[in-house]
Amino acid sequence: MHSYLTFSAEVQAARVSGKPVVALESTIISHGMPYPQNVQTARAVEQIIRDAGAVPATIAIMNGKINIGLSDAELELLGQSADAMKVSRRDLPYVLSSQRLGATTVAATMICAALAEINVFVTGGIGGVHRGAETSFDISADLQELAQTSVAVVCAGAKSILDLGLTLEYLETHGVPVVSVGQEEFPAFFTRHSGFPADFRLDTAEQQASFIHTKWALGLRGGVVIANPVPEASAMPQHEIEQMTVQALSEAQQQGVVGKAVTPFLLSRIKQLTGGRSLETNIALVKNNALLGAKLAIALHNCH
């Protein structure tokens, strides 16, 4: 096993006894939600996975190591630290070699999960092709990672701060299957509807696991997007989100926000504009994804 990896006692025990493990990202903790809701949510999400019979492994970079599973103190440190670096693929060698504190994005969490032989990963929303990418070239490294790293990513779709049509086109070009759960449509994170169909609909964990197992058994490397719509009762009104997204996008442009700062800027601005409501939606959908991820990890475990 890779010398940069270090496992929590809980995850190490799961590896020894062969229990299914579910990876969780940490940018959602450091850059996606405010303290203390971020730490509370991270703990609640881990507990949902345990209660469903799998083992949670929140991933972050600390002291030159990739931590697979965090202790309570480590989770608290990450949740409170103002200077945790947002780490995607290109940032991994820097954060490790400089011994900085790093929170992993979807792309970096997939890389670390694969190194640790974990094949199911739960998050809120994936990155994608940004609106206006034809001039900004802003396309999340998450999409390239999905193209090449063999981890199933459970999410609630992607936020409409992105161009969801172009995001789906990009995934198609790179051979990444997009599977919706319980509906035909690709969900848009805060809402269940994007106006775009997913590639396939698979409602049960067994169907999803069989699909993923088949992909990898064929030697087709790369990820699968499992898009699990936010529960109806927790979804936000479509027009409201769209209005705030347009405002946040224009502010980002006026203020010259570029590069890796774009996504955190938009997420935090939308959070402010919706008051606490978008945060409640965000927490509900991550919990909903955690349950699905645990069931999927168990079903995939039984495929082998």
**Which residues are part of the catalytic machinery?**
25, 159
Please state, as a whole number, how many other Cβ atoms lie within 10 Å of the Cβ of residue 204.
Answer: 13
Closest to ligand PSU by CB, 21 vs 29, is: 29
Binding to ligand PSU in span 203-232, by CB under 6 A: none
The option from ligand PSU, Mn ion, none interacting with 267 (CB < 5 to 8 A, set by class) reads ligand PSU
The option from ligand PSU, Mn ion, none interacting with 192 (CB < 5 to 8 A, set by class) reads none
Query: Is residue 124 within the footprint of ligand PSU (CB under 6 A)?
Result: yes
Q: Are 23 and 57 in contact (CB under 8 A)?
A: yes
Select from 22-30, 170-178, 209-217, 268-276 the region that touches ligand PSU (CB under 6 A): 22-30
In the shown chain, the binding pattern of residues 32 to 51 toward ligand PSU, with x for contact by CB under 6 A and - for none, equals x-------------------
The option from ligand PSU, Mn ion, none interacting with 27 (CB < 5 to 8 A, set by class) reads ligand PSU
Contacts of 175 (CB under 8 A, 6+ apart): 147, 220, 222
Residue 190: closest CA among 248, 108, 120, 109: 248
Distance CA 123, CA 214 (A): 23
Distance CA 127, CA 144 (A): 10
In the shown chain, the binding pattern of residues 244 to 283 toward ligand PSU, with x for contact by CB under 6 A and - for none, equals ----------------x--x---x----------------
Closest to ligand PSU by CB, 277 vs 301, is: 277
Size of the residue set binding ligand PSU (CB under 6 A): 19
The option from ligand PSU, Mn ion, none interacting with 145 (CB < 5 to 8 A, set by class) reads none
Residue 4 buriedness (CB in 10 A; 0-12 / 13-18 / 19+): middle
Strand-pair category, 21-24 with 55-62: parallel
Residue 146: closest CA among 198, 93, 110: 110
Query: Is residue 138 within the footprint of Mn ion (CB under 5 A)?
Result: yes
Q: Are 8 and 116 in contact (CB under 8 A)?
A: no
Binding site for ligand PSU (CB under 6 A): 25, 27-28, 32, 88, 105-107, 124-125, 127, 140-142, 159, 189, 260, 263, 267
